[in-house]
């Protein structure tokens, strides 16, 4: 299998070819390695690999033999060093066991060939850590890949991989999905297990899943990995049917709110607003009822509540890593905003953290009430098209923790709300700037309703197809 032939298929298509014995797993993996090696010198998306042999997986699984990569954060495979995007980790820390999600990826048949770049401790909306340098956007290498799952995103967008692991604490699946023209679903809190090392990543704000090029891959991957694990703190409602059965299902006439003004009060690019409006018109044409409306919440209080939650989590992670390695954290091995936020996080009293979580609960209740009147909310994913590299500099020592959080959430003001609510949200590549850069459009749903998101996403994929679009840097040979 030649790399250009390999690059034309999504994960579902590759799995079918392997099952039908039209191509062997070895041939597919050889093509994937060649594809990664072809694009990575420009994109800088890989921190380890591609390895000569994929990590062990079940060749009879749903995606038996399909190439895959792990974001170098949160998830870990037994014996494989994790670096967390930071110089503090040195050559990495190898855990003696898989996380639950890694076990499920193996069972699904995904053959992990590499680890992908992330900003330091995944605390940025781009992927430019001091430890590894800038990961570049395949549509325009002078632009940001988004973050924090930027490395995974650019390999999938450049057709080097059909799908890859990603995490999302404030938009880190959806932001790079928007920047790179991909499908990026943040599942409901508790839909995909995070254990056994943690029960509530980021006090419940964090989620793990993946990035794909097609809605059918997104649905199939969710079927493969969803469901509770033994000892999970929370168990949520099961889906009504397998997610792949949502593809092509008529969801009925839905009530969809549309909102294009940034909750932060910042500007929204005209082409971004136009893309959301165009998606709204298509949804109207599909029979849905679309009207302008938005949840109401206090943005400044929301930012203030996120700061202690993120900073306490960051301090915990840094201190645990430093203790394991015997390496003191400091300015020689941490970026300036990381260090400042960690120092702040160590000073946060329990009462302040509790008050912050109470604010997020109030926001979640307001959004939950909003969804009693609507089935979905349509917004931009990002206020702007992919930014030039360097716009979000986590090593800027002039920024206080509050200033860094405000800057970060201001850039991605449409995404973090749904980390607070725990409800699912998906970014779809439904718009394009006149210069050819992708624009993501976000759909959010009430808690546990990934099924409706996937059904409507499939409708939009048919009405506004995107898979024919290939970025400038690609593994297709053109």
For range 202-208, the mean pLDDT: 97
For range 191-207, the mean pLDDT: 94
Q: What pLDDT score does 335 carry?
A: 98
Beta-carbon count within 10 A of 105 CB: 28
Fill in the DSSP letter of residue 204: G
Distances in Å between the alpha carbon of 177 and those of 145, 234, 259, 316, 426?
9, 28, 19, 28, 9
pLDDT tens-digit profile of 115-134? Answer: 999 999 999 999 999 999 99
Q: Domain locations in the chain?
A: 3-463
Q: Is the pLDDT at 477 greater than 80, yes or no?
A: no
Q: Is 84 helix (H, G, I), strand (E, B) or coil?
A: coil
For range 304-309, the mean pLDDT: 98
- Cβ(130)–Cβ(395) under 8 Å? yes
Q: Is the pLDDT at 157 greater than 70, yes or no?
A: yes
Q: Is the pLDDT at 203 greater than 70, yes or no?
A: yes
Closest CA to 48 of 70, 66, 67: 70
- Cβ(125)–Cβ(370) under 8 Å? no
Q: What pLDDT score does 440 carry?
A: 98
Residue 18 has, within 13 A of its CA and on its CB side, a CA count of: 27
For range 299-306, the mean pLDDT: 97
pLDDT tens-digit profile of 316-361? Answer: 999 999 999 999 999 999 999 999 999 999 999 999 999 999 999 9
Any catalytic annotation for residue 400? no
For range 302-329, the mean pLDDT: 97
Beta-carbon count within 10 A of 229 CB: 16
User: What is the Cα gyration radius of the chain?
Assistant: 20
- Cβ(167)–Cβ(158) under 8 Å? no
Which H helix or E strand runs over 295? none
Determine the Cα–Cα distance for residues 288 and 37; give it in Å rounded to an integer.
44
Determine the Cα–Cα distance for residues 122 and 113; give it in Å rounded to an integer.
21
Q: Is the pLDDT at 298 greater than 90, yes or no?
A: yes
Q: Is the pLDDT at 4 greater than 70, yes or no?
A: yes
280 pLDDT band, cuts 50/70/90, is very high
Q: What pLDDT score does 199 carry?
A: 85
Q: What pLDDT score does 476 carry?
A: 87
Angle subtended at Cα 77 by Cα 87 and Cα 116, rounded to the nearest 5 degrees: 50
Computed over every residue of the chain, the mean pLDDT equals 97
Q: What pLDDT score does 43 carry?
A: 98
Active-site hit among 71, 262, 311, 383: 71
Read off the tokens for 353.
């953290």
Q: Is the pLDDT at 171 greater than 90, yes or no?
A: yes
Closest CA to 426 of 212, 154, 254, 174: 174
- Cβ(150)–Cβ(141) under 8 Å? no
Any catalytic annotation for residue 233? no
pLDDT tens-digit profile of 21-48? Answer: 999 999 999 999 999 999 999 999 999 9
Q: What pLDDT score does 239 carry?
A: 97
Closest CA to 132 of 424, 314, 395, 352: 395
* Adjacent-strand bridge partners of 184: 211, 427
Q: What pLDDT score does 2 carry?
A: 86
Q: Is the pLDDT at 478 greater than 90, yes or no?
A: no
Residues 6+ apart with CB under 8 A from 121: 73, 84, 85, 86, 314, 317, 318, 338
Active-site hit among 144, 148, 188, 413: 148
Q: Does domain 3-463 have CATH number 3.90.1300.10?
A: yes
Read off the tokens for 57.
């997986």
Determine the Cα–Cα distance for residues 166 and 456; give it in Å rounded to an integer.
22
pLDDT tens-digit profile of 354-399? Answer: 999 999 999 999 999 999 999 999 999 999 999 999 999 999 999 9
Fill in the DSSP letter of residue 442: E
For range 13-19, the mean pLDDT: 98
Any catalytic annotation for residue 262? no
Determine the Cα–Cα distance for residues 413 and 294; give it in Å rounded to an integer.
13
Q: Is 114 helix (H, G, I), strand (E, B) or coil?
A: strand
Active-site hit among 149, 172, 262, 427: 172
Angle subtended at Cα 454 by Cα 74 and Cα 122, rounded to the nearest 5 degrees: 20
E strands along 294-383, which residues?
Answer: 376-380
Question: What interhelical angle do 150-157 and 25-43 show, nearest 10?
Answer: 120
pLDDT tens-digit profile of 136-152? Answer: 999 999 999 999 999 99
- Cβ(204)–Cβ(443) under 8 Å? no
For range 302-308, the mean pLDDT: 98
Q: Is 97 helix (H, G, I), strand (E, B) or coil?
A: coil
């Amino acid at each position: 299998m030649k790399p250009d032939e390999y690059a034309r298929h999504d994960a579902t298509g590759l799995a079918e070819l392997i099952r039908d014995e039209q191509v062997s797993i070895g041939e597919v993996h050889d093509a994937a390695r060649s594809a990664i090696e072809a694009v990575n010198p420009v994109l800088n998306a890989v921190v380890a690999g591609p390895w000569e042999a994929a990590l062990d997986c079940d060749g009879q699984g749903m995606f038996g033999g399909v190439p895959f990569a792990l974001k170098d954060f949160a998830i870990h495979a037994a014996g494989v060093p994790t670096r967390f995007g930071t110089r503090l980790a040195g050559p990495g820390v190898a855990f003696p066991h898989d996380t639950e999600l890694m076990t499920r990826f193996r069972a699904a048949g995904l053959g992990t060939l590499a680890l992908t770049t992330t900003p330091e401790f995944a605390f940025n909306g781009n992927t430019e850590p001091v430890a590894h340098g800038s990961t570049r956007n395949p549509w325009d290498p002078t632009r940001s890949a988004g973050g924090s799952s930027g490395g995974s995103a650019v390999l999938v967008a450049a057709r080097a991989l059909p799908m890859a692991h990603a995490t999302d604490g404030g938009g880190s699946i959806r932001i790079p999905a928007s920047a790179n023209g991909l499908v990026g679903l943040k599942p409901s809190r508790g839909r995909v297990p995070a254990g056994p090392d943690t029960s509530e990543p980021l006090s419940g704000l964090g989620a793990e899943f993946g990035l794909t090029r097609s809605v059918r891959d997104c649905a199939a991957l969710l079927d493969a990995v969803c469901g509770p694990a033994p000892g999970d703190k929370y168990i949520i409602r099961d889906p009504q049917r397998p997610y792949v059965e949502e593809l092509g299902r008529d969801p009925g006439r839905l009530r969809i709110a549309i909102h294009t003004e940034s909750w932060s009060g910042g500007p929204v690019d005209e082409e971004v607003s136009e893309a959301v409006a165009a998606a709204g018109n298509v949804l109207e044409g599909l029979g849905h009822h679309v009207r302008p409306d938005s949840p109401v919440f206090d943005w400044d209080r929301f930012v203030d509540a996120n700061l202690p939650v993120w900073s306490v989590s960051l301090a915990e992670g840094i201190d645990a890593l430093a203790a394991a390695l015997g390496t003191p954290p400091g300015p020689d091995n941490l970026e300036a905003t990381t260090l400042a936020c960690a120092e702040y996080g160590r000073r946060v009293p329990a009462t302040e953290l509790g008050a912050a979580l109470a604010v997020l609960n109030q926001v979640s209740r307001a959004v939950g009430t909003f969804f009693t009147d609507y089935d979905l909310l349509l917004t931009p994913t990002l206020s702007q098209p992919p930014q030039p590299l360097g716009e979000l500099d986590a090593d800027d020592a002039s920024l206080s923790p509050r200033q860094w959080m405000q800057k970060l959430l201001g850039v991605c003001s449409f995404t973090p709300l749904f980390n607070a609510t725990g409800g699912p949200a998906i970014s779809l590549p439904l718009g394009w700037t006149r210069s050819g850069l992708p624009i993501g459009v976000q759909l959010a749903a009430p808690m546990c309703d990934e099924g409706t998101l996937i059904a409507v996403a499939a409708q939009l994929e048919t009405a506004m197809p995107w898979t024919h679009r290939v970025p400038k840097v690609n593994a297709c040979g053109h």
